[in-house]
Structure 1
Amino acid sequence: MPYHRNTELPESVKAHLPLHAQDIYRSAFNNAWQEYDRPETRRAGSREATAHKVAWAAVKRRYEKVGEGWQPKH
């Protein structure tokens, strides 16, 4: 279930991340969705859960949570 547009992302992502971070999330999710298509390529969990974990990790490399929002890291 790759995401074609940011508007298709889960509400928890759209409601909290700035647009650039949403782009990062979508791209990382889609790449992980393709990369971890076979169960033997994942440590544990479903394909979707793995892709969401990878996407959040990608966002956290470039952004940090400050209070209730996300800010680019300096």
Structure 2
Amino acid sequence: MPYQNNSELPDGVKNNVPSHGQTIYRKAFNSAWDEYKDSEDRRGNASREEVAHRVAWAAVKEEYHKEGDQWVRDKS
């Protein structure tokens, strides 16, 4: 279920995260989807999709943070 483009992302991402953050999410999700295809590579009983979404959010949070209801890019 990898995402081909940002318009396919879940509404919670599309409607809240800036475009650049969406691209980060998409690329991280797709990478994790490939990396964690084998259940032995995942912790606990988490599904492949659940792990990929967690990895994707973690990647977004490396460059963005929330201020109120807005995701804003961290200043370098």
Measured against the shorter chain, the TM-score band is over 0.9
Identity of aligned residues (%): 55
Report the alpha carbon displacement of residue 43 of structure 1 after superposing the two structures with TM. Answer: 0.6
Aligned pairs, number:
74
Structure 1's consecutive aligned runs of 4 or more residues displaced over 4 angstroms after TM superposition are none
Report the alpha carbon displacement of residue 10 of structure 1 after superposing the two structures with TM. Answer: 0.3
Report the alpha carbon displacement of residue 25 of structure 1 after superposing the two structures with TM. Answer: 0.1
Secondary structure class of the residue paired with 2:59: helix
* Normalised TM-score (structure 1): 0.98
**Cα displacement string for residues 16-73 of structure 1 (whole angstroms, at most 9, x for unaligned residues):** 0000000000000000000000000001300000000000000000000011110011
Secondary structure class of the residue paired with 1:37: coil
Q: Distance in 2 between matches of 1:5 and 1:73?
A: 24
* Normalised TM-score (structure 2): 0.96
Partner residue, 2:25: 25
